[in-house]
Amino acid sequence: MRQVFLYRDEDGYWIAECPSLRGCVSQGETKEIALTNIKEAINGYIKALEEDNIPIPLENFEALLVAI
């Protein structure tokens, strides 16, 4: 299980980012498409690490909402 951030870019696309897997980012025209795409990206990322015998980073990211 991985945490994912979802946010809109300046063009209106949804960006999905998995912070515990550095550089694992995807996008989509809708939230649903972005989520489908990031799941695929996470699976591919982990598979590539396994194939290269590289340790898979633990899920250690914590998100906080800060009111200003």
Q: What are phi and psi of 53, to 5 degrees?
A: 55, 40
- Determine the pLDDT at residue 19: 93
Kindly report the average pLDDT of the chain as a whole number: 95
Which residue blocks in the chain are alpha helix, DSSP H?
31-51
pLDDT at position 62 over 90: no
- Determine the pLDDT at residue 8: 97
pLDDT at position 65 over 90: no
In angstroms, rounded to a whole number, what is the distance separating the alpha carbons of residues 52 and 8? Answer: 33
In angstroms, rounded to a whole number, what is the distance separating the alpha carbons of residues 27 and 60? Answer: 23
Q: What pTM does this model have?
A: 0.87
Region 56-66: mean pLDDT is: 86
pLDDT tens digits, 31-56: 999 999 999 999 999 999 999 999 99
The answer to whether the beta carbons of residues 19 and 2 sit under 8 Å apart is no
DSSP single-letter state for residue 8: E
